[in-house]
Structure formats: structure tokens, C-alpha cells
Structure 1
Amino acid sequence: MNTKPVNRTQRRRPELTAFLRSRRARVTPADVGMPPGLRRRTPGLRREEVAQLSGVGVTWYTWLEQGRPINASPQVLDAVARTLRLDQTEREHLYHLAEVPYEPDPQLPAQTVDEEIQGIIDTLDPRPAAVYNSRYDILATNPPFRDLFFVPQTLDIGIPNVLWTLFTVPEPSCPVVFRDSELPLMVATLRSSYGRHVGEPAWEEFIRRLSAASPYFAELWAGGNVLPPGPRVKTFRHEAAGEMRMTSVSLSVDGMAECRIVAYTPADEEARQALALLRDRRERLWPPTHAQAVAGTRKIPLP
């Protein structure tokens, strides 16, 4: 049996050919304002018509469709994608098959979640969980998250954002222990997302305002470090339960660009007991029916 590995480029070429032919076949001349012409063998566009509408040479497009090793720029692939009426997923697929780095169109960070996502994080109880976008805006939380991270001072801030809370509340009230090691990592994660949004007014205003509100954030931001999200063990404090070590895990959310569910799992028995204490405290102070009524009349508190 032949166990020689298949060259990825060689495998992509027939896939590219089949993909472009199938997309070309589904676009009719009428779709692009062209006459049907005579003796047309297929209801879709001809290669020369795709080339003409895309502003490229017929030979170049033919070679692209045949999967030949030619250079394709993002601008030319975008022109072909527009002619063939590719949606965003198809456009990304075309880039991958043509072996051209794909950069998705910039999108505004999501600001809401649907009931299904809210239900998912609610079922993670007793594990604290929340939904963040790439700017650390808080889109949804579950009760254990609010048990662990609620800080009274955040109500006065009025900005549902993790970084605003951690950088602007007094250090004794901050739920994160070891701020000098944790906050630089969070700022580096923020900057890695910022690279996709440089120049966007909402992002630039966010950075400007937080830099003005927190000299420490401004100092870290000026450092220029970048880091992707990833699992880490963090230590949190709560006035009723003391310190607890928790492992954070980020899960991406399909259909919500640059958003993630962040769930916290107790790293030891002490943390599990502390969470149980907080849950018991919540159930005594906020019976389910009363908590639901309150939740319907006010915003979820900041962490």
C-alpha cells in the first residue's frame, strides 16, 4: 500500500477547479446583465465571461480554474468572488484553495447574545461563565459568574466591560489577585484583537478613554505586547469566600465574530468549596423567583 503523503498543493488544485466550475455554472448571463448568446452549452457563465467581468485576462482565469501554479492577489480573487457572487464563507474557501492568506472583513464587536447562548452558559452552573467580545465587553453572564465577580463600585462605572472594571476599581476591591501579572496578559490579548480594528472609531475611542481613566492601562498599552486568548489558572478573591484558584477556558461561538464563552473551573478542592458557599449564599439571599423578577428590571451587574 502506498503511504506516501499527499502534497497539499496538489490536492488543492482539483478542489479549486471543481469549486470554480460549480460556482460559475450557477451564475447565468441574465444574473450579470449579459445576453444569453447562441449555442450556449451550459446555463452558467463561460470562462471568458468570468474573466471579462472580473477584469482579468482569459488565459489567467483559465489557469486559475485549472489549478495551475500562478500568483493570485487578494484584489483579483475578490473580483472573481464578486463576479461569481460568492458569499463570505465561499470567498474564504476560494482564498484557502488558491493558497492566498485570507483576511476577513472587519466587523463591529457583537453586543448581544440570543437565548440559546444564554441558556448554554446558564447550564454551566456551578461554573462561572460569561460571553465576551474581543474588546472584553460583557455580553452575558450566568449566576455563578455574578456571584464571583460582582463588585459594588462597578455599578457607578456604568460600563459593562471587564477591563474597565479591573483597571478602575480600587485594588482592594478588584476580584483578580496578582494584578501585576494578570492585567498585562489581558492587555496583550486585547492588542492582538485590536490589530484587526486599527482606525475604527469605536475601538480608538475605547482605548483613548480607558488610557485616560487608568495610567496603568496606558503604560501597558504603550508596551505593544500581543498574546492570543488561552487557558490559564487565575486567582480570585471574594469578601465572603476568600481566595480561590480557577482555570479559565475560552470557547469560540459560531456566528458571533470575535466572541467567546469564558468558563471558569475550580482548580482545587478549596475553590470548589468556595463556589458552593457562594451559591448557597445566593440562594438564601436571592430566591429563584425573586432573582428572576429583579433580573427582568435591571441590567446584569458588571463583574
Structure 2
Amino acid sequence: MLIANQRMAVINECFGRHEAALKFYEKAIKYHPLNTAFISGYIRLNIKMGNIDEARMILNRCENIFKKAEDSDQYNSLAKQLKPERKLEFFYKYLESLGIFDYKEGERMTSGSKITPLLTNSFLGWFETQGWENKTLLELGSGSSTLYFAKVISWETNKSWFTSLSDILPANVEYKLIDGISHTFELFDIDSCDVILLDCAENRAIIAKEISERSFNGIVFFDNSEWYRNGVTFLTKSGFREIPFFGLKPVEDWVSCTSVLYKDTSAKDILASGWKTLPEFAKYMPGNSWDIA
């Protein structure tokens, strides 16, 4: 059984079936927890899969096993691979996932034609944990969050951008080319929407003032809120609370902020702890023994 598990781990690893290989290594180590060859194979596979933090924890936990087996060569070889410099690989992979290296100014499309919201990564990390599938979004400045809501009303003043997005937006988007957002907004029933995304190339203070004066009780996503503090102040003075999400966006080489503004009556809609999903690269730990009481 011992040799069989180790052999199956190696075979699966050779064929790229890494998850299956991990399970066979775990079985082999379970039957022979002091076997440094099995432990080394398990750690190296985790490194290959990019599980650097996991590999580092296993090596630290097994340091005494290597010492007792007088297998310092194996230990030193693994320790060298897991030096802090390895973290740079993760940071690069994380930035790559945000589109930092792939996007050019004015682009919002991935190679797979998936619309990527040009909002901060910290905001999107929170945003995806919450449930928006039954909400209606009014998007002032188009193309950012159309994939998450039951219905999206999106207004755009840039004709070329409107044309480039018209053919690829999903059916839940009511997409309109308009002359000016401020005037159209004045005539629109904002209470028919649950969320307003303020991301337009117009005077946002005027629109924020309109939202506050009309006693909107929904949620406001205010992009680049660090540039529009007067606009944010109109909202906070009318009862909104602000949560700022500073972070990174594709195409930008500085830290930006996307703020969530809400009233106490809508807090339950943005603070659900039953997360829908976790951001990519988040380390979920179900069954954590330190989380059981």
C-alpha cells in the first residue's frame, strides 16, 4: 500500500493530474509520516502548483523529521526553493490576474471577451462575496458591472465607446446612448434601482447632489472617490456612510479608490457574511480547527 500510493502519486504528477497526485502523497505520508522522500515529493508538488504558502508551512512543520533522518540535503534544497523571493512569483501572478500587464488605456476586454470592471481590485474582491442577482443597477458610465445584476440600465455619452460595447453586452442590459447624463438623470426615477454606479465623465458633484436631494435610499458605488470628495460629501451629509476601497485597476500605475456609500436601511444588503464566492487566490480554510467552538 505504501509503495503503491507513492507510485500513483508520481504517475499522476507525470501526467499533470496534480490534485490526484497530492491525495496519493497524503495517503503515503499518512502510512509513513517519517519518510522524507514522500514529504519532499509532496512539498515539491505544492511548489509546482503554486501553493507556496502551503509548501512553506509543511516544510517548517517537518523540519525535525528531516533532522532526525539526517537528510539535510533534501531540507536545504527545499528551503532554498521556498526563500521569501518566491513570493515575488505570487505577486506577479496576482497582478497578472488583475490585467495590469495586458490592458491598454481605453480597453475593457479580456482576450476571452469578458468585461472586466475598471474598479479597484479591493472593491471587486468584496463585491463578488455579496449577492447582486436580484438587484437592478443604474450605471452612469457604461461597461463595468453588467455580468452581476438581474437588470442593468447603462447610459453612455461617448458614441465610439457605445458602438464598441453594443454588440457584446448581455441581454439583461438596457443600453442607451444619450447626450448628457446629468439632464437624463434628473428625469429618471432613481428609486426603481437598487444600486447606482457613478463612473461617468461628467461633473459628479452635481449628480451626487441630485442623489442626496432626492433622498435615494439605495446603494451608491462611487469610482475614483479620492478625486471627488465634494461629491462624496453631498452624500455623507444626507445620511450615507462611506466605505473606501483603495486598490489597483488595470491600465493604472497608481492607487485608486472605489467607495461604497449606503444608508443604515440598506446596510443588510452589503454586509452579508454568507459569501457567494471568494476572490481568486483567496485561501479558504474549511474545517479550521481554530475556528471551532
**TM-score, L = length of structure 1:** 0.27
Higher helix share: 1
**TM-score, L = length of structure 2:** 0.28
Indicate the structure whose relative CO is greater, using CA pairs within 8 Å and at least 6 residues apart.
1
